[in-house]
Amino acid sequence: MTERIVVVGAALLDSGRLLAARRSAPADLAGRWELPGGKVEAGEAPEAALVRELREELGVDAEAVERVPGEWPLKAPYVLRVWTARLLPGSPAPAPLEDHDGLRWLTVDELWDVPWLDHDVPAVRKVMAHLGQRGEVPLS
């Protein structure tokens, strides 16, 4: 059996909104939206990878808060695991620096206004259900 490679995704939250990032590459993913993040490097903790990826992709200082239960298959051997995250005080505003050409803060009512990558749809649903159970994001 091939060992799975973990890809971390950030449910970056601010004032009840979720940050979505529009892919610029590769061509088959360009124009679709995702939770920002990336691959965990060998010997790296997933939470550290999340912080690193947010710095590289968005230029922000953030912290991983809590793992969202579950994992979602990507192209083998990759699997997506998601953490809620928040910007640290004094962090610059997110900007699309790498792999993305647009960012959008989505309210609960706007969540499905963007075409999410297929593998991110169940993860986004789980994030919202998880936050709703905790009373952190009002679900309409």
Q: Respond yes or no on whether the N-terminal peptide bond of residue 122 is cis (omega within 30° of 0).
A: no
pLDDT of residue 16: 84
Please state the CATH superfamily assignment of the domain spanning residues 5-134 in this structure. Answer: Nucleoside Triphosphate Pyrophosphohydrolase (3.90.79.10)
pLDDT of residue 1: 54
Q: How many CB atoms lie within 10 A of CB 14?
A: 13
Integer Cα distance of 53 and 34 in angstroms: 14
pLDDT of residue 137: 55
- pTM score: 0.90
pLDDT of residue 131: 77
Chunked mean pLDDT (size 10), the chain, 140 residues: 88 92 93 97 97 97 95 94 96 93 93 95 90 58
Integer Cα distance of 40 and 13 in angstroms: 21
* DSSP-based helix, strand, coil % in the chain, nearest 5: 25, 35, 40
pLDDT of residue 134: 59
Domain coordinates in residue numbering, the chain: 5-134
pLDDT of residue 44: 97
pLDDT of residue 132: 74
